[in-house]
């Protein structure tokens, strides 16, 4: 689509909105709408494309020469737009490979390539200074053993191994990428006694079974490897040697060998070219059908005929993590900060992850700079951040939050995050008091391909893709944006889960599939062909996150809606009660199958399968403390709605300060069981899912792990935090 056409349609639609739209928190919505219209006139998709090209022009992992170049370009772009810009540096541990060796010998003899070749179709793929393919935070190790295939390497896959009587103790396992955060696979392998772990990208997931491979298409070719961190971030993220503290000066550090969130076994990611000969050598039972991938032979579980030798060693050095922090001081409330962030470090060139999101953030910064040049000033302070060291474990943002915790608890109104971005549908996760806020924003941003609002487009996609006919019709009627809860996997984690700052994570995608993630092929050439060829979704993102920042900076009444929060938590509580009932039914039925001998009679006698053990019956537990706390919160949310309508200017300021700190009431000072760094009682990444969220995690994970005593204790803790919020809002 041409730019002129886009602007005419955009103008027509925004004129329509000018008459219809009211923005929550503003007495004079027209003024804010006019400001946003001006903002929209200053953003340019052409410049987004140019900045993606510039900032992905060299490999720029933590501590590299390329990182210094990217940091100086980002600083320049902020400064040229009039932002007060500084670099805050932390010294973080960042291991890089010294030795990587993988071979198989015996019946099969194979030496793994461990290398992605340069392609003439990809201009940056032949550069020096690329980090080799590896999993950051693998332990040093030199192991030789038989190989066992463990499917995706999740806990339930080990139940299947147990059924076949296969033990991974003393073995090296090979798992497929996908279905969970990558760090879960070696963690579960280590828990089961494995001495090494390989993770490979199966062609059925993001290779030739998904589409044409690069450079013909977007998907993974036989050499492509997904790098990535295997730090156990669900225990705590950030520098593993400085939990709870900023990595500055001569901070006390724990030795990395004893850090609680690092594994003890060597782990290496490989391509399907390198995985195929290893998998082909496996003997033992044929793998279940749903374990099959896309390689052209029968998948077996193992162990292998031949032995695998895996040797890895790393340079465990401190490197500078350089966070760029740019501010425009608020004219009325300088001590109230609206924070926006995206990381700048990449595994290699990172055109999509993270530069596409960073280019959108910079586009906002440029447009806001232009507004300021024209005489406008934000009421609250805008703090725009470009984080370093996100890829190895959210280190730049986490160290900054840990370092500034007390100040942030006072001043941070909200944190707005983005990361990789591409063509498709708006997706957002965040604090549920923001549901009406993000709904209004999504209805005011126009989708560049269809010219309806990004809200309408996301709703259409939800409806078409819903699982049942009933759910499809319900989704179609939905008038609120579907704001998902936050797990982990990007820089919002420490803001929301460690210190309770209300947060949003926003991005577009779904029509930008590919296999380039964390490989040398995540390049400008790949991005411009397959991710967002017009860079129009860079603009859609800048408009969405830019509106969020501008509205929070300008609102007379900050747009927190605790009714939505209450509704959401009530929904989670019903889910937990259902989960208990389902689990009770399931275990009852499974035990009955064993007791009645049906399990044995249904099994193929020639396979000699081992029956699972009978499980403990599921007791009834008491949710009344939580239900009572929720009905109290419901009453409070009704009464405060009336109160905020008739406040004086001074009272309004006090009220605003109160509501933006309200989410902190939902923290528990002791933290979650076995992971005290995570303090939010409503949201955490799952202990066995990684990025995937667990809502009301203390209770939910206790139920899932059949620890009903702990579930009871956690119900009380969540109830107390909700009561704390009610009392806080009521005073």
Residues in touch with Zn ion (CB under 5 A):
353-354, 419
- Residue among 353 and 516 whose Cβ is closer to Zn ion: 353
Residue 432 backbone dihedrals phi, psi, to 5 degrees: -80, -10
The answer to whether 236 touches 243, Cβ cutoff 8 Å, is: yes
- Residue among 25 and 393 whose Cβ is closer to Zn ion: 393
- Residue among 419 and 632 whose Cβ is closer to Zn ion: 419
Smallest gap, in angstroms, from Cβ of residue 651 to Zn ion? 42
- Rounded to an integer, what distance in angstroms lies between the CA atom of residue 555 and that of residue 565? 20
Smallest gap, in angstroms, from Cβ of residue 48 to Zn ion? 17
- Residue among 381 and 421 whose Cβ is closer to Zn ion: 421
- Rounded to an integer, what distance in angstroms lies between the CA atom of residue 36 and that of residue 30? 10
- Residue among 92 and 295 whose Cβ is closer to Zn ion: 92
Beta-strand runs (E) in 61-119: 84-93, 96-105, 110-111
- Rounded to an integer, what distance in angstroms lies between the CA atom of residue 184 and that of residue 501? 27
Smallest gap, in angstroms, from Cβ of residue 393 to Zn ion? 12
Distance of CA 339 to the CA centre of its chain: 18
Smallest gap, in angstroms, from Cβ of residue 270 to Zn ion? 22
For 530, the enclosing helix (H) or strand (E) is helix 524-530
The answer to whether 682 touches 699, Cβ cutoff 8 Å, is: no
Give the CA angle between residues 307, 311, 314 to the nearest 5°. 165
- Rounded to an integer, what distance in angstroms lies between the CA atom of residue 93 and that of residue 318? 4
- Residue among 391 and 402 whose Cβ is closer to Zn ion: 391
Smallest gap, in angstroms, from Cβ of residue 347 to Zn ion? 9
Smallest gap, in angstroms, from Cβ of residue 221 to Zn ion? 22
Is there a cis peptide before residue 354, judged by omega within 30 degrees of 0? yes
- Residue among 42 and 384 whose Cβ is closer to Zn ion: 384
- Rounded to an integer, what distance in angstroms lies between the CA atom of residue 134 and that of residue 347? 10
Residue 725 backbone dihedrals phi, psi, to 5 degrees: -65, -45
- Residue among 345 and 701 whose Cβ is closer to Zn ion: 345
Smallest gap, in angstroms, from Cβ of residue 341 to Zn ion? 11
Q: Which residue has the tokens 């060597």?
A: 266
Smallest gap, in angstroms, from Cβ of residue 352 to Zn ion? 9
- Residue among 73 and 419 whose Cβ is closer to Zn ion: 419
- Residue among 196 and 392 whose Cβ is closer to Zn ion: 392
Is there a cis peptide before residue 587, judged by omega within 30 degrees of 0? no
| DSSP 8-state class, residue 533 | T
Smallest gap, in angstroms, from Cβ of residue 267 to Zn ion? 20
- Residue among 517 and 660 whose Cβ is closer to Zn ion: 517
- Residue among 336 and 421 whose Cβ is closer to Zn ion: 421
- Rounded to an integer, what distance in angstroms lies between the CA atom of residue 156 and that of residue 217? 34
Q: Is 697 helix (H, G, I), strand (E, B) or coil?
A: helix
Smallest gap, in angstroms, from Cβ of residue 356 to Zn ion? 10
The answer to whether 323 touches 339, Cβ cutoff 8 Å, is: no
- Rounded to an integer, what distance in angstroms lies between the CA atom of residue 711 and that of residue 714? 5
Q: What share of the chain is helix, strand, coil (3-state, %, to 5)?
A: 45, 15, 40
Smallest gap, in angstroms, from Cβ of residue 238 to Zn ion? 15
Pairing of strands 503-510, 196-200: unpaired
DSSP 483-524: PBPP-SSSTTHIIIIIH---EEEEEEEES---S-TTSTT-SH
The answer to whether 409 touches 664, Cβ cutoff 8 Å, is: yes
Smallest gap, in angstroms, from Cβ of residue 66 to Zn ion? 16
Smallest gap, in angstroms, from Cβ of residue 355 to Zn ion? 9
- Residue among 116 and 353 whose Cβ is closer to Zn ion: 353
The partner residues of 327 in beta bridges, in order of sequence, read 84, 383
The partner residues of 174 in beta bridges, in order of sequence, read 149, 198
Residue 405: CA count within 13 A, CB half-sphere: 15
Smallest gap, in angstroms, from Cβ of residue 391 to Zn ion? 7
Smallest gap, in angstroms, from Cβ of residue 490 to Zn ion? 6
- Residue among 266 and 354 whose Cβ is closer to Zn ion: 354
The answer to whether 416 touches 422, Cβ cutoff 8 Å, is: no
Give the CA angle between residues 481, 27, 643 to the nearest 5°. 80
Smallest gap, in angstroms, from Cβ of residue 239 to Zn ion? 18
Is there a cis peptide before residue 303, judged by omega within 30 degrees of 0? yes
- Residue among 346 and 703 whose Cβ is closer to Zn ion: 346
Smallest gap, in angstroms, from Cβ of residue 354 to Zn ion? 4
CA-nearest of 511, 722, 721, 540 to 635 is: 722
- Residue among 419 and 554 whose Cβ is closer to Zn ion: 419
Helices (H) and strands (E) in the chain, counts: 24, 19
Smallest gap, in angstroms, from Cβ of residue 419 to Zn ion? 4
The answer to whether 444 touches 17, Cβ cutoff 8 Å, is: yes
DSSP 356-377: IHHHHHHHHHHHHHHHHHTT--
- Residue among 419 and 532 whose Cβ is closer to Zn ion: 419
Neighbours of 578 (CB within 10 A): 10
Distance of CA 641 to the CA centre of its chain: 33
Question: For every residue of 271-303, which 3-state class applies, written as one string?
Answer: CHHHHHHHHHCECCCECCHHHCCCCCCCCECCC
- Residue among 354 and 671 whose Cβ is closer to Zn ion: 354
- Rounded to an integer, what distance in angstroms lies between the CA atom of residue 247 and that of residue 400? 9
């Amino acid at each position: 689509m041409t730019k002129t056409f886009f602007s005419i349609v955009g103008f027509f639609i925004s004129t329509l909105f000018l008459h219809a739209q009211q923005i929550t928190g503003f007495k004079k919505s027209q003024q804010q709408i006019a400001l946003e219209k001006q903002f929209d006139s200053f953003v340019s998709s052409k410049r987004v494309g140019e900045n993606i090209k510039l900032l992905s022009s060299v490999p720029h992992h933590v501590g590299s020469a390329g990182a210094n170049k990217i940091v100086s370009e980002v600083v320049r772009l902020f400064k040229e737009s009039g932002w007060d810009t500084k670099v805050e540096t932390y010294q973080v541990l960042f291991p890089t490979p010294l030795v990587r060796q993988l071979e198989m010998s015996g019946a099969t003899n194979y030496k793994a390539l461990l290398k992605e070749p340069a392609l003439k179709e990809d201009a940056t793929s032949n550069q020096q200074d690329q980090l080799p393919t590896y999993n950051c935070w693998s332990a040093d190790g030199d192991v030789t053993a038989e190989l066992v295939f463990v499917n995706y390497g999740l806990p339930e896959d080990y139940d299947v191994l147990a059924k076949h009587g296969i033990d991974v103790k003393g073995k090296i396992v090979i798992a497929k990428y996908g279905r969970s955060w990558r760090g879960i696979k070696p963690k579960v392998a280590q828990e089961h006694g494995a001495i090494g772990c390989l993770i490979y990208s199966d062609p059925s997931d993001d290779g030739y079974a998904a589409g044409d491979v690069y450079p013909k298409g977007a998907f993974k070719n036989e050499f492509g490897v997904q790098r990535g961190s295997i730090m156990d971030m669900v225990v705590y993220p950030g520098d593993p040697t400085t939990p709870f503290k900023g990595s500055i000066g001569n901070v006390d550090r724990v030795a990395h060998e004893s850090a609680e969130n690092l594994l003890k076994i060597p782990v290496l990611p490989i391509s399907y070219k390198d995985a195929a000969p290893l998998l082909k050598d496996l003997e033992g039972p044929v793998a279940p059908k749903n374990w099959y991938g896309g390689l052209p032979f029968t998948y077996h579980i193992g162990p292998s005929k031949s032995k695998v030798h895996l040797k890895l060693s790393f340079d465990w050095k401190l490197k500078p993590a350089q966070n760029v922090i740019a501010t425009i001081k608020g004219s009325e409330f300088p001590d109230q900060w609206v924070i926006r962030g995206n990381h700048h470090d990449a595994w290699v060139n990172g055109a999509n992850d993270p530069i596409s999101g960073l280019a959108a953030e910079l586009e906002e910064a440029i447009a806001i700079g232009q507004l300021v040049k024209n005489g406008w000033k934000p009421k609250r302070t805008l703090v725009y951040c470009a984080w370093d060291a996100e890829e190895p474990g959210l280190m730049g943002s986490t160290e900054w939050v840990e370092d500034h915790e007390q100040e942030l608890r006072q001043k941070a109104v909200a944190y707005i995050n983005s990361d990789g971005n591409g063509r498709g549908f708006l997706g957002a996760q965040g604090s549920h008091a923001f549901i009406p806020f993000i709904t209004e924003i999504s209805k005011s941003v126009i989708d560049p391909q269809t010219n309806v609002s990004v809200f309408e487009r996301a709703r259409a996609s939800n409806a078409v893709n819903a699982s049942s006919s009933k759910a499809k019709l319900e989704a179609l009627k939905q008038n609120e944006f579907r704001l998902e809860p936050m797990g982990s996997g990007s820089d919002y984690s420490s803001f929301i889960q460690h210190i309770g700052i209300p947060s949003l994570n926003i991005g577009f995608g779904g029509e930008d599939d590919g296999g380039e993630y964390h490989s040398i092929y995540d390049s400008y050439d790949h991005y411009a062909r397959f991710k967002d060829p017009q860079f129009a979704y860079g603009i859609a993102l800048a408009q969405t996150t830019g509106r969020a920042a501008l509205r929070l900076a300008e609102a007379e009444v900050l747009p927190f809606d605790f009714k939505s929060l209450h509704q959401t938590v009530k929904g989670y509580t019903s889910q937990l009660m259902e989960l208990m009932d389902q689990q009770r039914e399931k275990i009852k039925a499974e035990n009955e199958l064993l007791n009645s001998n049906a399990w044995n009679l249904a099994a193929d006698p020639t396979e000699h399968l081992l029956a699972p053990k009978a499980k403990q019956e599921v007791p009834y537990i008491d949710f009344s403390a939580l239900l009572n706390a929720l009905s109290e919160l419901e009453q409070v949310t009704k009464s405060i709605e009336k109160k905020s309508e008739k406040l004086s200017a001074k009272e309004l300021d006090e009220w605003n300060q109160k509501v933006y700190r309200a989410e902190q009431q939902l923290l528990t000072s002791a933290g979650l069981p076995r992971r005290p760094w995570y303090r939010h009682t409503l949201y955490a990444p799952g202990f066995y899912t990684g990025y995937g969220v667990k809502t009301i995690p203390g209770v939910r994970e206790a139920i899932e792990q059949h620890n009903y005593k702990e579930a009871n204790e956690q119900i009380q803790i969540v109830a107390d935090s909700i009561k704390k919020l009610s009392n806080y809002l009521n005073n």
